[in-house]
Structure 1
Amino acid sequence: MIQIYHNPRCTKSRECLAFLEETGQEYEIVKYLENIPTYEELKGIIEKLGIKPIELVRRKEKIWIENFKDKVLNDEEIIQAMISNPTLIERPIVINGNKAVIARPLESAAVIL
C-alpha cells in the first residue's frame, strides 16, 4: 500500500495528499510528527529514497541551525537528530513498495504510483 509521510500543517504535504486522493489509489497517512519513525524505519525510508541522510534534513529549520549546522555528524547521528526532532524530516515522503520519493515538486510522486 502507498504511504505518505504527512504533516497536516505543511502546504506541500496537503497538496500531495490531495493528489493521492485524486488518483483513487488506496494509501495510508503516516503523521510522522505524532508517530515518529524508529531508527530502522527512517533508515529504511532513506534507503528507498536512495539518498544520504543529510539530504532528508530540512536544513533551514531553526532546530538544525541552532543545534547541528556547524557540527560534523555521521549518518547515524543525522538519523538520530531527525528522530529526536521530527520537524527536521523533509516532507512529504511518498512510499510505494520499495520505491520512495520526496514529493517536491508534487509531480515526482506520480513517478512511483
Structure 2
Amino acid sequence: MIQIFHNSRCGKSRDCIAFLEQSGKEFEIIKYLENSPTFNELTEIIRKLNIPPLALVRQKEKIWMEKFKNTIMTDEEIIQAMIENPILIERPIVISGENAVIARPFEKAIPLI
C-alpha cells in the first residue's frame, strides 16, 4: 500500500494528498508530526529515498537554524534530531514498497502510483 508522510499545514503535502485521492489508489496517511517515526523506521525511509540523512532535513526550519546549523553531526545524530524534532523532516514523502520520493512537486510521486 502507498503511504504518505503528511503535514496538514503544508500546501505541498495537501496537494499530494489530493493527487493520491484522484489516482483512485488506496493509500495510508501518516501524520508524522503526531507520531514521529522510530530511528529504524526513519533509517529505512532514508534508504528507500536513496539520499543521505541531511538531504531529508528542512534546513531552513527555525529549530535547525538555532540548534544544529554549522554543527558537525554524524548521520545517526541527524536522524535522531529529526526523530526528536519531526518538523525537520522534509515532506511529503510518498512510499510504495521499496521505493520512496520526496514529492515536491507532487508529480514526483507519479512513478510510485
Q: Which TM bucket (shorter chain)?
A: over 0.9
Q: In the TM superposition, what whole-angstrom CA distance separates every residue of 1:49-88 from its partner, at most 9, and x where no partner exists?
A: 0000000000000000000001000100000000000000
CA shift for structure 1 position 112 = 1.4
Which residue is 1:26 aligned to?
Answer: 26
Percent identical pairs in the alignment equals 65
Runs of 4+ in 1 over 2 A off after TM superposition: none
Which residue is 1:112 aligned to?
Answer: 112
CA shift for structure 1 position 111 = 1.5
Residue 77 of structure 1 aligns with an amino acid whose one-letter code is: E
CA distance in 1, matches of 2:92, 2:109: 9
CA distance in 1, matches of 2:48, 2:69: 25
Residue 8 of structure 1 aligns with an amino acid whose one-letter code is: S
Pairs within 5 Å for 1:66-77: 66-77=66-77
TM-score, normalized by length of structure 2? 0.99
Which residue is 2:4 aligned to?
Answer: 4
CA shift for structure 1 position 22 = 0.2
Residue 99 of structure 1 aligns with an amino acid whose one-letter code is: N
CA distance in 2, matches of 1:14, 1:27: 14
Which residue is 1:42 aligned to?
Answer: 42
CA distance in 2, matches of 1:16, 1:90: 13
Residue 96 of structure 1 aligns with an amino acid whose one-letter code is: S
- For the aligned residues, what is the CA RMSD? 0.4
CA shift for structure 1 position 106 = 1.3
CA distance in 2, matches of 1:27, 1:57: 24
Gaps in structure 1 of 5+ consecutive residues: none
